[in-house]
């Protein structure tokens, strides 16, 4: 423990955010960097508890008190060694993780928790700046060939680990760039894309081969894949968006969030947007929020990213509506410490300007004379507890039209795309339509593994990395009979 009285002396401080009025004019990262001295002060707040709940709260099992101590001692090389033993990509989680670790920090019981996520970011950025992140090329190759299908955080983590174990890894990606939702879902103001490119360069230097514009199941058939590789790792994500099949769904101006977000990420990276993206065609051309009344339907991360992007486009108004009731402002009694708290969350995008309404249902999209969206027909809901189950009831007389020329559907993703590769491989699906796997090995073919959103359903980057690492471990055992890849301690509290 670095400073026994640190938690009494220092308060929690996070990096300063740029002014909303400044940042809505660009797509650059919102937070300003932490200095090493700031990070040291924040790390000094860690109490090095006898039972550190934080690393059970982290889906990766990050060894948090130890890296906090190393940061306090300003031993960046040791802090990086500890952090990289459990997390392949702290530069992603240090920027966009909702930090369930902080919800289970013991200091958080009666004081603001340790700023773990930003300490994590400080460690990895210091490590890159000090030249500590160097390609770790395996000393010996096993000669086993592994195909990873999908290059999101799950695929990248699996590839990095399997390459470390000495296998020859090829990552196939159907999009024109590597990164999955890190690249074409999450906006640059949350994760600038040079952060991904910097990591990809390290992985390439370590020997991982990346193949873009390769839709496995179409450009390479399943049989070819099975013949050419000793093991196939499926990490294709959960890509089928939840639709809202109500009257007027076909109108111009009603779009899935991912159509809107992926287009903007392409623009920021100066890539052409007219191409089809991951099976989503831009049939209605470029989607712009400029000067429009935008309504985002759905209250999660995706919805919040649509809010931030719409404000950057210069929307006239931005509104976010949600079917469910407003969560409590403080941690709900049903989710006591150290659980992930059920409570209302305000993102940096919300801070930039947005009206938010809960308990609202959309009944129809209303057209003007030319087939363009002009309003949403909405109704207020009351949620009633009927025999222990919450049921929604429309509030009589509350139906009304809300002006809207751009509606963005951000109601989540239902499951991975079945048609094509998955059906061709004959994988089984679980009751939610995700790929069924036991210990990451599919139930139908022992040499086919699955991880990330494709297996667990839509989730978080930290879970995708965790799944990729765990699946790689199991795959290594399948290929070699044993493994030296790190195992993680079981996570007890992380339920996000
Ligand atoms: C808009 C948005 C914002 C989000 N924000 C956050 C956030 O702030 N923090 C957070 O923790 N999580 C966030 N998430 C969730 C997070 O991005 C996902 O949980 C995570 O990316 C899942 O990783 P994955 O590797 O399983 O899949 P993905 O990232 O979805 O990657 C799958 C990849 O596989 C490719 N693929 C699929 N099928 C094939 C095929 N047949 N051949 C070749 N390639 C194929 C796809 O093109 C895709 O690139 C967000 C999600 C969205 C949509
Ligand atoms: S990866 Fe997320 S949960 Fe784990 S320590 Fe980092 S911020 Fe916390």
What confidence tens digit (pLDDT) does each residue in 22-33 have?
A: 999 999 999 997
pLDDT at 192: 98
Q: Is residue 371 predicted with pLDDT exceeding 80?
A: yes
Report the distance separating Cα 347 and Cα 152, nearest Å: 23
Report the distance separating Cα 357 and Cα 299, nearest Å: 9
Q: Kindly state the average pLDDT of the residues 284-299.
A: 92
**What's the helix, strand, coil split of the chain in %, to 5?**
30, 20, 50
Distance from residue 182's CA to the centre of ligand 1 (Å): 7
Helices 116-129 and 64-72 meet at what angle, rounded to 10? 60
Q: 43 falls in which pLDDT band (50, 70, 90)?
A: very high
User: What is the distance in angstroms between the CA of the first residue and the CA of the last residue of the chain?
Assistant: 29
- Whether 48 and 66 have beta carbons less than 8 Å apart is answered as no
List pLDDT tens digits, range 204-249: 999 999 999 999 999 999 999 999 999 999 999 999 999 999 999 9
Distance from residue 467's CA to the centre of ligand 2 (Å): 14
Ligand 1 in reach of 149 Cβ (< 6 A): yes
Handedness of CA 344, 345, 349, 350 (dihedral sign): positive
Residues 6+ apart with CB under 8 A from 227: none
Three-state secondary-structure class, residue 444: coil
Q: Tell the residue number behind the tokens 């089984």, with chain if given.
A: 428
Ligand 1 in reach of 422 Cβ (< 6 A): no
- Whether 467 and 457 have beta carbons less than 8 Å apart is answered as no
Report the distance separating Cα 233 and Cα 347, nearest Å: 34
Q: Which atom of ligand 1 is nearest to the CA of 156?
A: 25
pLDDT at 496: 44
Distance of CA 25 to the CA centre of its chain: 24
Which tops the pLDDT comparison, 44 or 388?
44
- Whether 430 and 438 have beta carbons less than 8 Å apart is answered as no
Three-state secondary-structure class, residue 216: strand
Q: Is residue 138 predicted with pLDDT exceeding 50?
A: yes
Nearest to 97 by CA among 481, 469, 464: 464
pLDDT at 282: 52
**Helices marked H in 235-287:** 257-268
Ligand 1 in reach of 97 Cβ (< 6 A): yes
Distance from residue 372's CA to the centre of ligand 2 (Å): 44
* Pairing outcome for strands 437-438 and 441-442: antiparallel
Distance from residue 154's CA to the centre of ligand 1 (Å): 8
Query: Whose atoms come closest to the Cα of 172: which ligand?
Result: 1
Structure tokens of 486?
A: 């790190």
Nearest CA to ligand 2 atom 3: 58
Distance from residue 471's CA to the centre of ligand 1 (Å): 17
Ligand 2 in reach of 461 Cβ (< 6 A): no
Distance from residue 102's CA to the centre of ligand 2 (Å): 8
- Whether 173 and 217 have beta carbons less than 8 Å apart is answered as no
Nearest to 296 by CA among 372, 237, 379, 360: 360
pLDDT at 494: 43
Report the distance separating Cα 232 and Cα 59, nearest Å: 24
Among 236, 266, 468, say which to mutate for ligand 1: greatest number of ligand atoms within 8 Å of CB.
236
Q: C-alpha angle 324/325/327, rounded to 5°?
A: 110
Report the distance separating Cα 190 and Cα 97, nearest Å: 10
Cα Rg of the chain, angstroms: 23
Ligand 1 in reach of 216 Cβ (< 6 A): yes
Distance from residue 291's CA to the centre of ligand 2 (Å): 38
List pLDDT tens digits, range 411-466: 999 999 999 999 999 999 999 999 999 999 999 999 999 999 999 999 999 999 99
Q: How many helices (H) and strands (E) does the chain have?
A: 19, 18
List pLDDT tens digits, range 464-480: 999 999 999 999 999 99
pLDDT at 274: 65
Among 91, 99, 152, say which to mutate for ligand 1: greatest number of ligand atoms within 8 Å of CB.
152
Three-state secondary-structure class, residue 337: coil
Residues 6+ apart with CB under 8 A from 154: 180, 235, 237, 451, 452, 453, 454, 464, 465, 467, 468, 471
Residues 6+ apart with CB under 8 A from 459: 452, 453, 496
Residues 6+ apart with CB under 8 A from 158: 148, 233, 235, 451, 468, 469, 471, 472, 475
Nearest CA to ligand 1 atom 30: 237
Distance from residue 237's CA to the centre of ligand 1 (Å): 5
**Helices marked H in 44-151:** 54-57, 64-72, 76-84, 90-96, 100-103, 116-129
Q: Kindly state the average pLDDT of the residues 383-394.
A: 88
**195 secondary structure, DSSP code:** H
- Whether 197 and 177 have beta carbons less than 8 Å apart is answered as no
Q: Which atom of ligand 1 is nearest to the CA of 150?
A: 34
pLDDT at 493: 45
Ligand 2 in reach of 187 Cβ (< 6 A): no
Structure tokens of 63?
A: 């060894």
């Amino acid at each position: 423990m670095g400073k026994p009285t640190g938690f009494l002396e220092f308060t929690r401080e996070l990096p300063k955010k740029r002014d909303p009025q400044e940042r809505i004019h660009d797509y650059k990262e919102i937070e300003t960097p932490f200095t090493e001295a700031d990070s040291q002060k924040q790390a000094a707040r860690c109490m090095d508890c006898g039972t550190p709940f934080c690393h059970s709260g982290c889906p990766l099992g990050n060894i948090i008190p130890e890296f906090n101590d190393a940061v306090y001692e300003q031993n960046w090389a040791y802090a990086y060694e500890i952090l990289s033993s459990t997390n392949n990509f702290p530069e992603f989680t240090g920027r966009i993780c909702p930090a369930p670790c902080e919800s289970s920090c013991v200091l958080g019981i009666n004081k603001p928790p340790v700023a773990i996520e930003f300490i994590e970011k400080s460690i990895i950025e210091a490590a890159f700046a000090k030249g500590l992140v160097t390609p770790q090329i395996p000393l010996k190759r096993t000669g086993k060939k592994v195909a990873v299908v999908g290059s999101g955080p799950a695929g990248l983590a699996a590839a990095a680990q399997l390459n470390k174990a000495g296998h020859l890894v090829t990552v196939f990606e159907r999009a024109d760039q590597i990164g999955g939702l890190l690249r074409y879902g999450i906006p640059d103001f949350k994760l600038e894309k040079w952060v991904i490119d910097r990591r990809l360069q390290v992985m390439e230097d370590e020997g991982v081969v990346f193949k873009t514009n390769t839709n496995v199941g179409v450009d390479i058939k399943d049989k070819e894949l099975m013949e050419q590789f000793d093991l196939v790792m499926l990490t294709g994500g959960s890509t089928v968006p939840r639709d809202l099949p109500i009257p007027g769904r076909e109108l111009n101006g009603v779009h899935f969030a991912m159509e809107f977000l992926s287009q903007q990420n392409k623009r920021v990276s100066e890539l052409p947007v007219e191409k089809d993206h991951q099976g989503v065609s831009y049939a209605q051309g470029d989607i712009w929020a400029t000067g429009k009344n935008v309504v985002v339907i759905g209250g999660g991360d995706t919805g919040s990213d649509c809010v931030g992007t719409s404000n950057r486009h210069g929307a006239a108004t931005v509104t976010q509506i949600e079917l469910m009731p407003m969560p409590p402002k403080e941690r709900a009694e049903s989710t006591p410490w150290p659980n992930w708290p059920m409570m209302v969350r305000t993102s940096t995008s919300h801070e930039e300007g947005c009206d938010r309404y809960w308990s609202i249902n959309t009944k129809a999209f209303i057209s003007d004379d030319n087939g363009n969206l002009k309003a949403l027909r909405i109704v207020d809901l009351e949620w009633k507890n009927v025999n222990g189950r919450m049921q929604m009831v429309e509030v009589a007389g509350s139906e009304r039209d809300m002006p809207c020329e751009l509606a963005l559907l951000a109601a989540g993703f239902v499951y991975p795309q079945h048609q094509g590769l998955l059906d061709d491989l004959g994988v089984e699906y679980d009751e939610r339509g995700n790929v069924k796997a036991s210990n990451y090995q599919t139930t139908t073919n022992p040499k086919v593994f699955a991880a990330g959103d494709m297996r667990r359903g839509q989730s978080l980057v930290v879970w995708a990395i965790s799944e990729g690492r765990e699946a790689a471990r199991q795959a290594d055992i399948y290929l070699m009979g044993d493994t030296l890849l790190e195992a993680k301690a079981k996570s007890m509290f992380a339920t996000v």
